[in-house]
Amino acid sequence: MAEKKIKLPETEEGAVIFNVPFPEDLSQLKKMAPIIIKHHYEIDYIHSYGQDSPFFAGLANGKLLGTKCSKCGYTYGTPRLDCMECGGECDWIELPKEGYIHTFTICYYGSEEFLKETPFILILVEWPGVDTLFLSRLVGVDPKEASLDWVGMKVRAQFKRLSKFKPTDVYFVPAGKKNK
């Protein structure tokens, strides 16, 4: 019985390569140059913020939220629902919009989010009565003029008008007097 050849339909989508070099002598395959193709890839990613959803809802509404342990009173600038000190449950609280720079760094390389803005300034914000710090960006000052005088500088939270539900929806600007 003759073998019937079955062909699948061919399209020109994706990578179409013709005349790929291939050696006659298979012992030469180890010396073959790699085949490099460019292929467009796209995906819609569905992400849930789960227990952190109130934090992002707060940012979209111009509020900065942290949490406070209902058992020991430990207060978090970066929210969590379970206390790392005693294991108690934490409740949501609104943080002040003004705080102070605890420390900073100038970033000369960044992720895609900040690539167009390099160099940029990251700060750790502190608030009186809050036990942990909050990582954010400082804008409105020139990174080339960085100074240790910035430590203790009063800063104020500002929020993007159009929320993207990202941590970058909040940033800080200088707000005045230095913390003594």
Render the burial of 65-104: b for 16+ CB within 10 Å, e for the rest. bbbbbeeeebbbbebeeebeeeeeebeeeebebebbbbeb
Does residue 112 surpass a pLDDT of 90?
Answer: no
Q: What domains sit in the chain, N to C, each tagged with a CATH number?
A: 50-178 (2.40.50.840)
Cβ 172 vs Cβ 64: under 8 Å: no
pLDDT single digits (tens) 53-70: 999 999 999 999 999 999
List pLDDT tens digits, range 1-31.
678 888 777 776 666 666 777 888 999 888 8
Q: What is the pLDDT of residue 17?
A: 66
Average pLDDT along the chain: 89
What is the per-residue pLDDT for 177? 65
Torsion of CA 111, 112, 118, 124, to 10 degrees: -50
Q: Supply the pLDDT for residue 111.
A: 80
Please state, in angstroms and rounded to a whole number, the distance separating the CA atoms of residues 138 and 153.
11
Query: 22 versus 157: which is more confidently predicted?
Result: 157
Higher pLDDT, 120 or 117: 120
Q: What is the pLDDT of residues 91-108, one digit of tens each?
A: 999 999 999 999 999 999
> pTM of the prediction?
0.73
Confidence of residue 39 (pLDDT cuts 50, 70, 90): confident
Give the model's pLDDT for residue 16: 61
Q: Is the pLDDT of residue 180 over 60?
A: no
